[in-house]
A and B are shown apart, each in its own frame.
Chain A
Amino acid sequence: MTLKDFLNFVMKNKDTILEYTGNHFTLVLSAMLISLVIWIPVGLLLTKSDRWAARVLGIANTIFCIPSLSMFAILVTIPIFGLGRKSALLALVLYAMMPLIRSVYDGVKSVDGHVIEAARGMGMSQGRILREILVPLGMPIIFAGFRITVVMTTGIAAIATYIGERNLGRFISEGLVRSNTPMMVTGALIISVIAIGLDTMLGVLEHGMVPKGLRHSRARGGAG
């Protein structure tokens, strides 16, 4: 394959590329949105009970271990999901469970107990402690988990092409079948760019969301 072949392919299939990229994006974004709405509260709830945390994290771990092709195959056999977006979304949300719950749980649990004790002792309510202390202080760990989840979801979404999703994964799978190298490269390249791009954007966002006092103490290598 030469660069010319590749450019030719891109020029000829502009509309398809745009359509697949759009589909890929909407799948990843909706999966992430649903995951955040469900798993962040679950992660926060789990910090209240160590017993439940062990159970739920165990389940999340098990789900995470299922290979993605198997997962899609299993979901397709369930009548209400079937082929298509519903199964794809469900699979991605299930995969996001482990990294999101884990990072929220670990992030909140990493907050110094004495800080919480002092806050309670001053009369701060549970909700206030959560908003003003636990979440901001757990943010570095929570955000690390969030970034991993986004990158991972972008990758797994490509595999959903096997259950009928018309997205960038299709270029790769069809390209393989037809031995069409420009097609494969186009899919692989755009997926990688999306993953790297999202991660970079989140990195910038993270810098703005991690509290300044924390950045300072980390730069100094801990409390002095």
Chain B
Amino acid sequence: MIELQQITKQYSGQAIPAVENLSLSIPVGEICVLVGPSGCGKSTILRMINRMIEPTSGKILIHGEEVAYKDSDQLRMGIGYVIQQIGLLPHRTIAENIAIVPRLYRWPKEKIARRVDELIVMMGLDLEKTRGSYPSQLSGGQMQRVGVARAMAVDPPIMLMDEPFGAVDPIARNNLQDELLRLQKALKKTIVFVTHDINEAIKMGDHIAILNAGKIVQFGTPEEMLTKPKNGFVENFIGHDRVVKKLSLFDVEEAMQPVGCLVSDHELGSAGKKMKAAGTEVAFLLNEEGKPFGHVTLAEFKEAKGDLDGLRKRALRTRTTFTQTTTALPEALSLLLEFDVDYLGILKGEELCGMLSFRDIRRHVYRKEGW
């Protein structure tokens, strides 16, 4: 656990302290995001944890030990550090860059080489191509992967990340975020993550601290931030689309309902009866191989008045309205609107395992927080 106790940082020549009497406990094994407008002190806080900046007053404890009493180089060797500009050594190969901290620990050569290869693969980079190349030969996204790999080289329990994905393009950023979350599931590091982007904070954080003018305005889970913003500042900072943002906390699997009624193609005529029997408004159609290829609603069935070919044609128009269980709710909502349908079929791999309607999304968001 990282504990900040009444930390104040006053830069000389500045009237207002950058950080003022701030206390914060960062739980172990979680991503804690510090978010706020520029100049709110979030980077200063991060850099005080590994003593890149010394606080004017107050204590910082890591696992109960005060960092001020530790040798600063030793302290930093044990904490992963990633900055927006990455700071790869341009005159060293990627392998040498990743090996910096292991070398400081005097690991044997073979152990370093093995670890470097492992990390390059773990970060989804091409091992043979990447290992011997220089930073200038890589793209921004690849460089940032190397930056993360380098910070993880000796498997430090704590990582400090200062706007790590701020300088890469949106697609690469999204990939990097997903990758870090995937790694974090297995690695369970204590990560302090600084960003000015509230969307990134909501996506990445187990806990979020919203800061303004050197003070914590609100500390809590993303759900708490979105549902119970403490004051106008938090509300404004999150933005007026906070309900839509909240959707991004969930994926389809959490909100979907079971498929009420499955009808094989040749039983299309009895679909109405089946739906009524199952007490549902929609039936998903299966082809000869048992694969879903669309759906019909009860209303459509009635409208067709026994014209099965017409009904089948209608159903075929919905043959693309399926998505995977891991889809985030905003995307699912967007698909519902794009296809102009009432239901999405939810697949797990190739298997139909549920369905999702506008009502399910709304119900899920409200039930979850009891709005």
Contacts and interface: CB of A to CB of B under 8 A. Distances in A.
Q: Interface residue tally of chain B, by bracket?
A: 20 to 34
A214 B86 CA distance: 17
A118 B86 contact: yes
Interface string B46-72: 000010100000000000000000001
B75 A212 contact: no
B135 A223 contact: yes
B87 interface: yes
A123 B136 contact: no
B91 A213 contact: yes
B208 interface: no
B74 A213 contact: no
B88 A118 contact: yes
B86 A213 contact: no
Given A117-B83, A123-B76, A136 B52 contact: no
A125 B134 CA distance: 23
A112 B85 CA distance: 10
Contact of B88 (A115, A124, A224): A115
B307 interface: no
Interface residues on A, range: 20 to 34
A126 to B, nearest CB: 9
Nearest to A216: B134
A217 B136 contact: yes
Nearest to B73: A123
A119 B90 contact: no
A214 B81 contact: no
Interface string B119-160: 000000000000000111101000000010011000000001
A124 B87 contact: no
B104 A124 contact: yes
Nearest to B100: A122
B316 interface: no
Contacts of A108: none
B101 interface: yes
B91 A214 contact: yes
Given A220-B136, A224-B137, A121 B91 contact: no
Interface string A203-224: 0000000011110110010111
A179 B74 CA distance: 71
A133 B81 contact: no
Given A213-B93, A224-B137, A114 B83 contact: yes
A184 interface: no
Given A213-B134, A213-B135, A224-B137, A121 B81 contact: yes
B89 interface: yes
B74 A123 contact: yes
A119 B76 CA distance: 10
Given A121-B83, A122-B104, A115 B136 contact: no
B83 A224 contact: no
A112 B87 contact: yes
10 contacts: A117-B83, A118-B147, A119-B100, A121-B50, A121-B160, A122-B101, A122-B104, A124-B104, A217-B135, A224-B136
Given A137-B89, A216-B134, 5 more contacts: A114-B86, A115-B90, A122-B76, A125-B73, A213-B92
What are the 8 A-B residue pairs with the smallest beta carbon separation, nearest first?
A: A118-B87, A123-B77, A211-B91, A121-B81, A217-B136, A123-B76, A114-B85, A213-B134
